[in-house]
Amino acid sequence: MNSVMDQTTEATPEQIRDKKLYQSMGLTDHEYGLIKDDVLHRLPNYTEVGLFSGMWSEHCSYKNSKPVLKKFFTKGKHVVKGPGEGAGIIDIGDNQGVVFKAESHNHPSAVEPFQGATTGVGGILRDIFSMGARPIASMDSLRFAEPKTDADKYFIQQIIAGISAYGNCIGIPTVGGDTAFDDAYAHNPLINVMSVGLMDLDKIEVGAAAGVGNSIIYVGHKTGRDGINGASFASFQFDSEHESQRSAVQVGDPFEEKLVMEGCLDVINNHSDALVGIQDMGAAGLVSSSAEMGSKAGGNGMALNLDLVPQREAGMSAFELMLSESQERMLLCVKAGQEDEVLNVFKDHGVNAVVIGHVTEGHNYKLLHHGKVVADVPVDSLASQAPVYHRESAVPEHLKNADSKQYQPQISNPTETLKEMLGQLTIASKESIYETYDTQVQTNTVVAPGSDAAVVRVRHHDKALAITTDVNGRYLYLNPRVGGTMAVAEAARNIVASGAVPLGITDCLNFGNPEKPDQFYELDQAVMGMSEACEKFEAPVISGNVSLNNEYDNVPIYPTPMVGMVGLIKGLEHITTQDFKQAGDLVYVVGKTEAGFNGSQIQKMQTGEIAGKLFDFDLDYEVKIQKLVTEAIQHLLLNSAHDISEGGLITAIAESTFGNQLGVDLASELSVADFFSESQSRFIVSVPQEKQAEFEQLVGNDAQKLGKVVDDNHLFVQANDGYFDLDVDKALGIWKGALPCRLK
């Protein structure tokens, strides 16, 4: 890539062809041939090759994943906008819509962690407000290798600092997320961010540029050389030379983003009669936003004068101006004759805004620079006619040879094993991460990070939104289809445990190289599993992102499709958290505990690896259990509810004692090992004694009473072959201290 970008003089069309310079921009021989022979019927020039390299990258075109994405369940009675726009929208009543989407910023963050993380946050926020919504919350889903060196620790700290800095400065709360550690993510961390917004449904905007003669307005920061070819870079496989690719990383400015956001929302809310369309300049910069807007409108072309583009650096070429991914920029299509009205709005907000082009007759996308035409291509060829690949699929070797036996934990001292479990970084408290976030800005956060889901109230209404992110890559490594189903199911349990009903999901599909059949198999199977679960929970996929080629020197990450789910709480009295509330409450496990040790945290802790087959689970039973918990919450029968996932039942019990530092006195016919099982479809709940009869009548045989909450700050759990006996203060200290200790 750099061999082309670093040239001070642009290669001629003949040099590009003969030296195959297009390959270093990310185009294959086949793709270059399509452009030359089928699209343009001539040799493309340097700028045109750059346009196609960005727009035909996986990051922009989804050329390897489109056939798979079509398998997603995307329909629902409350879906207003599904996949295809800047973000999805779901109707939550009262003429209000919740808008949400997730994005990945994996490769940029691996190269430049602070800026990679900040610009990931900024980009997803622009997707939200481009739809006409005001962002109300953000979350992150992070995957790191276990920190072993000072460099590892610095990297993690910089990622967290970047997320914190951007969200805190722009005034949008980062209300939670999930963070896990596994050496499968060494050299290729996953930095996924999600944002949620609220809007009036009569204010929806789309990214389209229609109407011959209408103007194209550039808004925001001046264009520099940061992030050039970022979309292609995000679509490449990593190697040992990736440190040289810092030029592809963008630089963020949250204070400018705040001004841009307020200006855009002002135009949308108060000058909508002048506005035709609006879109974020994200991946592939100006070419992506403008070509996509032109293509979506259909039937028109576009002409841009690049001499009018605000520039931060002197001497920028057309290639650089079009492919720069400088941040905090938006593109608007405004009705002819009403440009000054819109320009004055941005002037009032202190934001650069300038007309740089217009919608034209015909279907061509034309760029002028220094008085010359530097690109002239069909607009649809950039935005909607990239080649689509139907990749081969093959079962990975490690799945063919997987042991069908369940791993059996060997536990001689239950209490010591629990203490060790609470100190595992994936299990341990992430307070040292989220304490750097301003979780309360905007003053709508009801449940802050640390419970199953964050809860944000909807102002002036008796309702709230529950938000969570989830996925366990270890499960998907052992069975991508079942693991995909489990990712959605766990997200739904977190939403249900918070008192909400699932509405829908967004996703970040983090996978390896789709050209390798075994890695494409993981993507394809995971999507099918996720889709099946989404349909069962009536929680459609309304938006998402694909991040492929997450490999380092040909070693892929675990397949990791992050699920971001939003649920609706009708009635603030139904908001529920995981913490036990008062002594005397009765503790129940809802759902059946079965053997679930393959891929579990205890298997990893005891053996250093994960292995064996991951067995399917009963989705219908999962739905049944979730509905029981939902009904119990709606009837105000529960004082707490907590999903049982990584670390098993005993970990969920311990976590439930920490918030109010209450103890428990419990007993069960389960074995000590069973308490570490990660079988699905289970909750740990607490019930006031006066509600016992009503609760037991509701759940029947699908819940087992374990004992009660006590006020002696002591955790005691009797199993059929041993017991756990630990001061809550001691357990809490281990759980809270593990991550800060490892990052020192």
Is 207 a known ligand-binding residue? no
Q: What are phi and psi for residue 113, nearest 5 degrees? A: -60, -45
* Residue 512 tokens, joined: 């390896």
- Cα distances (Å, whole numbers) of residue 504 to 67, 490, 568: 21, 13, 10
User: How far is the C-alpha of 279 from the C-alpha of 286, rounded, in Å?
Assistant: 10
* Residue 122 tokens, joined: 């900024």
Is 461 a known ligand-binding residue? no
* Residue 567 tokens, joined: 């649920």
Burial readout 280-293 (b: 16 or more C-beta within 10 A, e: otherwise): bbbbbbbbbbbbbb
Is 513 a known ligand-binding residue? no
Residue 662 exposure: Cα atoms within 13 Å on the Cβ side: 23
Is 376 a known ligand-binding residue? no
- Cα distances (Å, whole numbers) of residue 581 to 428, 668, 712: 21, 22, 14
Tell me which residue has tokens 């919608």.
359
Query: How many residues does the structure list for the chain?
Result: 744
Is 544 a known ligand-binding residue? yes
User: How far is the C-alpha of 356 from the C-alpha of 306, rounded, in Å?
Assistant: 7
Residue 724 exposure: Cα atoms within 13 Å on the Cβ side: 35
Q: Is 630 helix (H, G, I), strand (E, B) or coil?
A: helix
Is 269 a known ligand-binding residue? no
The H-or-E segment that residue 160 falls in is: helix 150-170
- Cα distances (Å, whole numbers) of residue 538 to 92, 463, 541, 716: 14, 20, 10, 39
Q: Is 33 helix (H, G, I), strand (E, B) or coil?
A: helix
User: How far is the C-alpha of 577 from the C-alpha of 582, rounded, in Å?
Assistant: 13
The H-or-E segment that residue 136 falls in is: strand 134-144
β-pair type (174-181, 134-144) = parallel
Q: How far is CA 48 from the centre of its chain?
A: 32
Q: Is 16 helix (H, G, I), strand (E, B) or coil?
A: helix
Is 250 a known ligand-binding residue? yes
Tell me which residue has tokens 């949400």.
100
Is 529 a known ligand-binding residue? no
Is 41 a known ligand-binding residue? no
Tell me which residue has tokens 């299509």.
333
C-alpha angle 110-194-133 in degrees, rounded to nearest 5: 135
User: How far is the C-alpha of 179 from the C-alpha of 431, rounded, in Å?
Assistant: 11
Is 106 a known ligand-binding residue? yes
* Residue 257 tokens, joined: 């983003």
β-pair type (301-305, 174-181) = unpaired
Q: Is the dihedral of CA 38, 41, 45, 47 positive or negative?
A: negative
User: How far is the C-alpha of 134 from the C-alpha of 456, rounded, in Å?
Assistant: 14
User: How far is the C-alpha of 535 from the C-alpha of 424, rounded, in Å?
Assistant: 34
* Residue 258 tokens, joined: 């705040």
Q: Is 727 helix (H, G, I), strand (E, B) or coil?
A: strand
Is 603 a known ligand-binding residue? no
Q: How far is CA 712 from the centre of its chain?
A: 41
Residue 350 contacts residue 259 (beta carbons within 8 Å): yes
Is 103 a known ligand-binding residue? yes
- Cα distances (Å, whole numbers) of residue 562 to 135, 275, 357: 20, 34, 38
Is 37 a known ligand-binding residue? no
Q: Percent helix, strand and coil across the chain, each rounded to 5?
A: 40, 25, 35
In the chain, count H helices and then E strands: 26, 28
Is 405 a known ligand-binding residue? no
Is 295 a known ligand-binding residue? no
What's the distance, Cα to Cα, between the start and end of the chain in Å? 37
Is 656 a known ligand-binding residue? no
Q: Which alpha helices (DSSP H) does 577-689 contain, by range?
A: 601-607, 619-634, 648-658
Catalytic positions: 59, 105
Is 101 a known ligand-binding residue? yes
Is 525 a known ligand-binding residue? no
Strand partners, 725: 716
Tell me which residue has tokens 């080649």.
387
Annotated binding site for Mg(2+): 103, 127, 280, 545
Annotated binding site: 62, 101, 103-107, 126-127, 250, 280, 325-327, 507, 544-545, 547
Q: Pick out the residues of the known binding site for ATP.
A: 62, 101, 507, 544
Binding region for substrate? 104-107, 126, 250, 325-327, 547
